[in-house]
């Protein structure tokens, strides 16, 4: 039997205890010395259109996340978030100059889309017995919301950083009836959430369906395409569409098809499994979200392993358009004069279904005088280590 001499080992035990306490103190100190940024809004002149100044507004929260927006098209020009190492990087595509946003190859980059986002069959609809013919069948017409100058107002609400954009769309604009007052509120929270709140009122029955057309690549520039990004979508059905991508009115189950994202998997893993996806260079379709309540709920979640960034999308909308930048090409010169490429980014556009104006079985996009249109979407950014 071994007899311990406690007096002889006590100094060693005391040393080990002090060492553990020191390490714990250092770890605690490291936690409490995380840099806290000063939140707020700043702006710089981005250019002029017919003498009207266009500004780029930068929203910054207390964690250093940045969201940049211009008052042309109420467009999001950049989103900068930390990766798993704390390194800040751009996760949203954009342009360096106003000329690129006003040009023909703007790809709706980061734009607010309306009066009716997506497609309307044959560019016309009938409302209250009258037929309305539009200037184009997609994204609000030839000069939709993305081609107009918006009024901007900077706000600070509690700890949130807020930018309010407003626009008055005249009766008959692009063929749509009714004078429409529109506001879009961009809110950056301390939790790295970008909230987008839409509101509209009209003096005549019309159709409205708004969305944002931001392109995401969560790698922060480390990956040339998004095919390895893991995605899940809260939808068991999608809208069948014809060759013009106009919905037929039929809802199809995703189970057993390459369109099934109910279980998370890489975006590019099943593209070659479907001739339609392969010929179209990727995804471009509307998912029927499980949540049809009009209340805010999770719609999709994307994870990029190189950066560790995660994007969670919440919305009150019934549909989600998933688009993998199939038509991005070298002619679309992005930030830093870098040419774009197909599948270089993806869009998760929250909205009502395309062609709802001509599909009575779809959730309605009709807005009547005296009613208020409201829609809420949240893009939440986080990291996984």
Structure tokens at 132: 């309305």
CA distances for 139 relative to 2, 23, 85, 136, 295, angstroms: 85, 58, 38, 8, 25
What is the distance between the alpha carbons of residues 291 and 148, in angstroms, rounded to a whole number?
32
CA distances for 189 relative to 74, 165, 325, angstroms: 19, 17, 28
Contact in structure between 152 and 185 (CB atoms under 8 Å): no
Which positions are catalytic?
213, 349
56 contact partners, CB below 8 Å, separation of at least 6: 43, 44, 45, 46, 68, 69, 70, 77
**Cα 73 off chain centre by:** 15
> Which residues pair with residue 55 across a beta bridge?
45
Q: Give the number of other CB atoms < 10 A from CB of residue 336.
A: 10
Structure tokens at 131: 């037929």
Which residue shows structure tokens 């005088």? 369
């Amino acid at each position: 039997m071994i007899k311990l001499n406690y007096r002889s080992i006590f100094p060693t035990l005391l040393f080990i205890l002090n060492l553990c306490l020191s390490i714990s103190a250092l770890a605690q100190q490291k936690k409490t010395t995380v840099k806290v940024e000063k939140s707020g809004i700043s702006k710089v002149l981005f250019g002029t259109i017919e003498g009207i100044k266009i500004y780029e507004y930068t929203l910054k929260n207390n964690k250093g996340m940045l969201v940049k927006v211009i008052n042309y098209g109420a467009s999001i020009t950049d989103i900068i978030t930390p990766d798993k190492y704390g390194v800040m990087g751009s996760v949203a595509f954009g342009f360096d100059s106003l000329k690129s946003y006003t040009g023909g190859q703007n790809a709706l980059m980061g734009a607010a889309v309306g009066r009716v986002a997506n497609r309307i069959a044959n560019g016309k609809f009938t409302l209250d017995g009258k037929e309305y013919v539009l200037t184009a069948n997609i994204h609000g017409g030839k000069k939709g919301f993305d081609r107009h100058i918006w009024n901007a107002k900077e706000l600070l609400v509690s700890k949130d950083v807020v930018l309010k954009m407003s626009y008055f769309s005249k009766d008959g604009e692009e063929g749509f009836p009714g004078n429409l007052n529109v506001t879009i509120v961009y809110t950056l929270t301390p939790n790295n959430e970008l909230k987008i709140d839409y509101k509209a009122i009209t003096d005549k029955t019309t159709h409205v369906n708004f969305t944002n057309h931001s392109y995401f690549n969560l790698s922060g520039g480390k990956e040339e395409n998004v095919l390895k990004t893991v995605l899940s979508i809260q939808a068991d059905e999608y809208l069948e569409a014809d060759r013009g991508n106009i919905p037929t009115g039929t809802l199809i189950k995703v189970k057993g098809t390459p369109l099934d994202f109910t279980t998370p998997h890489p975006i590019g893993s099943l593209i070659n499994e479907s001739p339609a996806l392969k010929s179209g260079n990727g995804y471009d379709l509307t998912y029927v979200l499980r949540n049809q309540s009009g209340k805010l709920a999770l719609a999709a979640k994307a994870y990029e392993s190189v950066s560790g960034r995660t994007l969670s999308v919440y919305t009150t909308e019934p549909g989600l358009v998933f688009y993998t930048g199939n038509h991005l090409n070298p002619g679309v010169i992005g930030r830093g004069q870098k040419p774009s490429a197909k599948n270089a980014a993806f869009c998760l556009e929250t909205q009502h279904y395309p062609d709802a104006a001509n599909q009575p079985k779809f959730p309605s996009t009709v807005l009547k005088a005296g009613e208020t249109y409201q829609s809420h979407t949240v893009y939440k950014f986080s990291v996984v280590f």
